[in-house]
């Protein structure tokens, strides 16, 4: 092969991007609420949940991206093509509930951040978050996916700076962090938080979205060297994006475990922000709030993007952007208007998300294991086995969660 051909088939930084958009779903305000609550209440006990969930996320997001690249279909399209109309409608309804739970976390998180930064009422902050996320989607429609990827990646960098800075100000004790890598629980509440952390890490809408993002970015190449090169680039894309998201998630828990454990009124984001300000200073608290705001704005737009892709793939209907945004935005604004505890609403929204995970993961593993659909790029047997283990573990955790919640 000539040198110029080899150069064209070498993975390049310019091929990265889709996974960074999907990664925003892994650092949304629901993560902040779940991880801060876990660290403040249980210290380093649930460090292992973040590590395991992030490892699962790497596999899941790669399978989603591979499905879009190899089959030329988004996951909702691939699922919908194998269902009758009534089944597709039922499947869409559960996916729509997941999308609403997603938007709830993201809009409420953005509203809390605007309250912390500018003392705005939560309902006003929620409306502003919804409007800005709509403008970000307009950027995608007007300037294309790559410009949208650049904007979202920039916001991911802001999020990372906002939450990682505090680790350098007050590093956690290494021995206690290492102890948290041993899987264990401490009662029903720790299981509830573990499920919330899992729902905030392995996000159903990110699984649906990533397949379409990769397909739209790279097309549907024929089997051969170009497809193999794009799959290699996709593995790098997913790996780097998930390392960044995992580091941010871990930093949230470690900051709470190191600085907030045992303090009063740290069971809310507002209380945690006040405790961070008292313990680590105004600058770190400001960066915390800015990171939360960037998280709410970016993840809200990505969530709405995923909702539109889900609806298009399952119902074969393209809903106008403004209407689509209002559908998922309304529940969040209602919760802010009636004055429910926003942090608790965030945590519970992540539990709802965790219930939607099997509906995304089981079809994903089955479809990427189909030689008829994937051809020579069908999953290796080991990959398929790992995929079923991940889906099984997540489903089992949710069953245990329901049992403990009902009987506890």
pLDDT one-digit tens code per residue, 318-345:
777 777 778 778 888 988 888 888 877 7
List the one residue out of 146, 132, 110 whose CA is nearest residue 28. Answer: 110
Distances (CA, A) of 370 to 4, 80, 365, 366, 378: 35, 16, 9, 7, 6
pLDDT for 117 beyond 90:
yes
The pLDDT of residue 5 is 47
Q: What is the mean pLDDT of residues 222-226?
A: 91
Q: How many angstroms separate the CA atoms of 158 and 14, rounded?
A: 21
The pLDDT of residue 344 is 73
State the Cα angle at 393 between 98 and 312, rounded to 5°: 30
The pLDDT of residue 84 is 87
* Ordered DSSP codes for 311-332: HHHHH-----HHHHHHHHHHHH
pLDDT one-digit tens code per residue, 347-406:
677 667 777 888 999 999 999 999 999 999 999 999 999 999 998 887 777 677 666 656
Q: How many angstroms separate the CA atoms of 344 and 77, rounded?
A: 34
Domain 13-407, classified CATH 1.20.1740.10, yes or no: yes
pLDDT for 7 beyond 70:
no
């Amino acid at each position: 092969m000539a040198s110029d051909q080899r150069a064209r088939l070498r993975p390049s930084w310019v091929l990265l991007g889709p996974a960074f958009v999907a990664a925003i779903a892994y650092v949304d305000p629901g993560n902040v609420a779940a991880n801060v609550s876990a660290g403040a209440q249980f210290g380093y006990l649930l460090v292992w949940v973040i590590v395991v969930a992030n490892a699962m996320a790497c596999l899941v997001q790669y399978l989603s991206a591979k499905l879009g690249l190899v089959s030329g279909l988004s996951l909702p399209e691939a699922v919908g093509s194998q269902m009758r109309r009534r089944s597709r409608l039922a499947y869409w309804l559960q996916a729509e509930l997941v999308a609403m739970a997603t938007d709830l976390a993201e809009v409420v998180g953005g509203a809390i951040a605007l309250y912390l930064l500018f003392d705005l009422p939560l309902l006003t902050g929620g409306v502003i978050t919804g409007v800005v996320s709509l403008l970000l989607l307009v950027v995608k429609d007007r300037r294309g996916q790559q410009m949208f990827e650049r904007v979202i990646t920039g916001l991911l960098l802001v999020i990372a700076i906002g939450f990682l800075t505090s680790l350098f100000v007050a590093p956690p004790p290494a021995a206690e962090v290492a102890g948290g890598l041993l899987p264990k629980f401490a009662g029903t509440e720790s299981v509830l938080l573990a499920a919330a952390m899992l729902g905030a890490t392995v996000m159903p809408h990110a699984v649906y979205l990533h397949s379409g993002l990769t397909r739209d970015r790279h097309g549907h190449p024929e089997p051969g060297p170009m497809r193999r090169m794009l799959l290699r680039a996709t593995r790098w894309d997913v790996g780097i994006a998930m390392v960044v998201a995992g580091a941010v998630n871990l930093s949230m828990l470690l900051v709470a475990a190191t600085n907030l454990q045992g303090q009063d009124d740290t069971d809310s984001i507002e209380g945690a922000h006040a405790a961070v300000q008292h313990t680590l200073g105004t600058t770190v608290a400001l960066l915390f709030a800015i990171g939360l705001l960037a998280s709410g704005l970016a993840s809200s737009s990505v969530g709405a993007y995923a909702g539109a892709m889900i609806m298009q793939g399952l119902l074969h209907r393209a809903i106008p952007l403004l209407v689509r945004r209002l559908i998922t935005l309304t529940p969040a604004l209602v919760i802010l208007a009636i004055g429910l505890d926003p942090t608790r609403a965030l945590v519970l929204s992540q539990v709802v998300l965790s219930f939607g995970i099997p509906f995304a993961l089981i079809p994903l593993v089955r479809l990427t294991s189909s030689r008829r659909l994937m051809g020579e790029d069908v999953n290796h047997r080991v990959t398929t086995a790992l995929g079923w283990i991940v889906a099984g573990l997540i489903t089992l955790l949710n069953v245990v969660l329901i049992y403990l919640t009902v009987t506890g």
